[in-house]
């Protein structure tokens, strides 16, 4: 997907002239992409999409005449294409942005917040635009669809030292949602890392907690991990699993980015390899880049069982592909097969340990 000059064609949609200028100038710094147009509202955007045929759209949520979410729903119905939502960081806009991901948006990121964030904006925006340009566009979810009932599973006598670790990036919010809502209430302790902006991780954890039969929360430093609880790494912080005599606990850390990410899946998976060793299942879902592959290999080498999402069901088959290439994966599965596979592996390990 690119123009005649080989560049990714981007259309910027935002009611703020300042934001349109910042985004346009930031994108212009990249040699492999160009802004083919800008629009202050969805009505102008509609005409420019038809005229300019952009590869990727950046979309504001709060706009006059028609809000971004309404426009996104119409766009995905009549002219589906990769969309990155660029939103302000209020609680309500975070909720709406997550709803946009459910309705077909590929990525979400915060609006630029001043001159000191431009360097970080450039790195993040360019990476997300490249991922979006190559993304598989999913069909929007029915708004009123109820979560399916969790898979009935006899995990057996649950051991408190079992851990399930899941990592994801582009397309991961919906992939994680799809996996977790099919797991039963007595799932072993879970740790989750999703590449997501700081202000959005709280809303994401709250949304998962509402639809899952077990507790899901944004991790805080010192939180315990055990059966019936899943902890999500907070945006912009690494999450590390530690084993204590009393059980597992997480540490929330700052520190440098790993694979250009914070939180990084590699950091979490590496800590699970050290803390849980063979008493763990690692799952690497959709995402661009290589984050998680090295950590999944460490888990497998420590005796854990490992799963990667297959190409056909990934929004972006980057991170799982790298893990497969490194021989870090026991099973490559479609997204709908992963919940049962997790339960089967957990049950086998519990039975083995009980025997």
Active site residues: 169, 195, 291
DSSP 287: B
Q: How far apart are CA 352 and CA 247, in angstroms?
A: 20
Concatenated DSSP letters for 187-207? Answer: PPEEEEEE---HHHHHHHHHH
In degrees and rounded to multiples of 5, residue 231 shows phi and psi of -115, 130
Q: From residue 301, how far is each of 97, 260, 267, 278, 326 by CA, in Å?
A: 38, 24, 16, 9, 12
> What number of other Cβ atoms are within 10 A of residue 245's Cβ?
4
Specify whether the CB–CB gap between 90 and 195 falls below 8 A. Answer: no
Concatenated DSSP letters for 65-87? Answer: SS-HHHHHHHHHHHS---EEEEE
Instruction: Please name the residues in contact with 227: beta carbons below 8 A apart, sequence gap of 6 or more.
Output: 158, 160, 162, 186, 187, 188, 189
Residues facing 335 on adjacent strands: none
Residues facing 9 on adjacent strands: 34
- Listed residue (150, 148, 309) closest to 228, CA to CA: 150
């Amino acid at each position: 997907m690119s123009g005649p000059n080989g560049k990714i064609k981007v259309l910027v949609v935002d009611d703020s002239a300042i934001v349109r200028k910042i985004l346009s100038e930031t994108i212009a710094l990249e040699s492999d992409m160009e802004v083919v147009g800008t629009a202050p509202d969805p009505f102008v955007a509609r005409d420019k999409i038809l005229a300019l045929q952009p590869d990727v759209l950046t979309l504001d949520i709060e706009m006059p005449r028609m809000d971004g979410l309404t426009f996104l729903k119409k766009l995905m119905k009549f002219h589906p294409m990769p969309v990155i939502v660029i939103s302000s960081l209020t609680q309500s806009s975070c909720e709406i942005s997550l709803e946009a991901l459910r309705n077909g948006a590929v990525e979400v990121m915060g609006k630029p917040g001043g001159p000191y964030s431009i360097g970080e904006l450039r790195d993040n925006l360019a990476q997300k635009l490249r991922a979006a340009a190559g993304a598989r566009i999913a069909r929007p979810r029915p708004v009123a669809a109820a979560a399916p009932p969790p898979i009935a599973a006899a995990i057996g006598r649950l051991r408190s030292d079992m851990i399930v670790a899941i990592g994801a990036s582009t397309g991961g919010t919906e992939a994680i949602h799809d996996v977790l809502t099919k797991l039963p209430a007595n799932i072993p302790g879970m740790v989750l890392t999703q590449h997501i902006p700081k202000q959005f991780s709280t809303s994401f954890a709250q949304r998962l907690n509402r639809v899952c039969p077990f507790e899901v929360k944004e991790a805080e430093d010192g939180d315990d991990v055990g059966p019936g609880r899943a902890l999500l790494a907070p945006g912009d912080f690494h999450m590390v699993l530690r084993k204590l005599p009393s059980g597992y606990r997480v540490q929330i850390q700052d520190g440098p980015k790993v694979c250009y990410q914070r939180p990084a899946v590699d950091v979490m998976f590496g800590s699970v390899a050290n803390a849980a060793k063979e008493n763990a299942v690692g799952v690497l879902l959709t995402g661009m880049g290589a984050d998680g592959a090295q950590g999944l290999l460490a888990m497998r080498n420590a005796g854990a069982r490992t799963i990667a999402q297959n190409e056909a069901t990934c929004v972006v088959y980057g991170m799982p592909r790298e893990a497969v290439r490194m021989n870090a994966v026991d099973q490559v599965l479609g997204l709908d097969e992963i919940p049962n596979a997790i339960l089967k592996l957990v049950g086998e390990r519990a039975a083995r340990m009980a025997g």
